[in-house]
């Protein structure tokens, strides 16, 4: 475990790489989702496979999540993109990286790729989308419900969070409840600056969308295909939003295929 001070917030970071002493052939940065999520979603699923394949894997807990610092305010999308930028600088990672984002983590990763197109070698969006006005409205509705329920009936709110994140435990749901109750996250994220179409089109690296077949995000694939120069999608039947955890083998295989095709041909 390592704690990296970005100058704004202290972030918990985990790193995996080839264990045979060989230098890594690529660097992948894995960004997790909101509230009940943490870097553990990657650590116990796809990260070990990436490391065995020869990838330097960087995972971290978002501000307020997991073992990272929980400031009372400062949770807009731009705050999270700033954190990712500062973290890579602190770690001395200056070359293009393969960004993998789950749910809200994909929105962060996309924002970073739009801000720094030359620093993104590829981008995988797992059950995720870029920040648009529709995205902000949807997240606002979800977070408003969480915060409102917490104010009136915390046990019911925790049960609702757990039910909507079935692969997580009640302990994680309680942590998510504290994050939503004790910080400005619920107000900050819906108020985040969203991307223009030109900013979305600025992402020129290969982009992979991975969706559960029963997820409503599947409907967004045609829009991404229309806006992005190099986009393809994979739909995994029988899964919803938790596809990363429920179908880790398939998800990991598709991400490694993307990394290999984007220039890391020496993957094992």
Give the C-alpha separation, 4 to 95, whole Å.
19
Rounded to an integer, the average pLDDT of 32-58 is 95
Across 158-260, where does the E strand assignment appear? 207-212, 231-236
266 falls in which pLDDT band (50, 70, 90)?
A: low
The predicted pLDDT at position 168 comes to 46
Residues 6+ apart with CB under 8 A from 42: 30, 32, 57, 59, 100, 102, 244
263: left (phi over 0), alpha (psi -120 to 50) or beta: left
The predicted pLDDT at position 180 comes to 85
| Least confident range of 44-48, 71-75, 167-171 | 167-171
Kindly state the percentage of the chain with pLDDT values over 90: 76
Q: Is residue 41 scored above 90 in pLDDT?
A: yes
Q: Is residue 12 scored above 60 in pLDDT?
A: yes
The predicted pLDDT at position 206 comes to 97
CA dist list (Å): 127 to 6, 66, 221, 235: 28, 21, 10, 10
The predicted pLDDT at position 68 comes to 97
Phi/psi for 91 (5° steps) reads: -85, -5
- CA end-to-end distance (rounded Å), the chain: 26
172 versus 141: the higher-pLDDT residue is 141
Rounded to an integer, the average pLDDT of 92-109 is 96
Give the C-alpha separation, 54 to 21, whole Å.
10
Rounded to an integer, the average pLDDT of 109-130 is 97
Q: Give burial (CB, 10 Å; 0-12/13-18/19+) of 133.
A: exposed
The predicted pLDDT at position 137 comes to 95
Phi/psi for 267 (5° steps) reads: -55, 140
pTM over 0.85: yes
CATH of domain 2-131+194-261: 3.40.50.1820
- Please state the domain extents for the chain: 2-131+194-261
The predicted pLDDT at position 32 comes to 98
pLDDT in tens, 212-262: 999 999 998 888 999 999 999 999 999 999 999 999 999 999 999 999 998
1 falls in which pLDDT band (50, 70, 90)?
A: low
């Amino acid at each position: 475990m390592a704690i990296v001070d970005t100058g704004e917030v202290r972030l918990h970071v985990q790193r995996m790489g080839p264990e045979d002493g060989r230098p890594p052939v690529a660097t992948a940065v894995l960004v997790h989702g909101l509230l009940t999520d943490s870097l553990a979603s990657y650590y116990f699923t796809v990260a070990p496979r990436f490391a065995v394949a020869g990838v330097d894997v960087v995972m971290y807990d978002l501000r307020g999540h997991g073992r990272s610092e929980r400031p009372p305010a400062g949770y807009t999308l731009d705050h999270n993109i700033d954190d990712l930028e500062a973290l890579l600088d602190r770690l001395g990672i200056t070359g293009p990286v393969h960004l993998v984002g789950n749910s809200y983590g994909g929105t962060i990763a996309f924002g970073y790729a739009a801000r720094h197109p030359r620093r993104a070698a590829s981008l995988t969006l797992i059950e995720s989308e870029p920040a648009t006005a529709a995205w902000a409205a949807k997240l606002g509705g979800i977070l408003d419900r969480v915060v409102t329920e917490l104010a009136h009936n915390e046990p019911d709110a925790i049960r609702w969070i757990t039910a909507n994140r079935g692969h997580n435990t009640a302990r994680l749901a309680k942590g998510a409840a504290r994050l939503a109750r004790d910080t400005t996250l619920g107000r900050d994220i819906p108020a985040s600056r969203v991307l223009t179409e030109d900013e979305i089109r600025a992402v020129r690296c290969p982009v992979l969308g991975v969706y559960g077949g029963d997820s409503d995000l599947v409907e967004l694939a045609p829009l991404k295909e229309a806006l992005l120069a190099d986009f393809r999608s994979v739909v995994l039947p029988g899964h919803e939003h938790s596809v990363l955890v429920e179908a880790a083998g398939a998800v990991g295989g598709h991400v490694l295929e993307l990394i290999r095709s984007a220039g890391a041909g020496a993957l094992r």
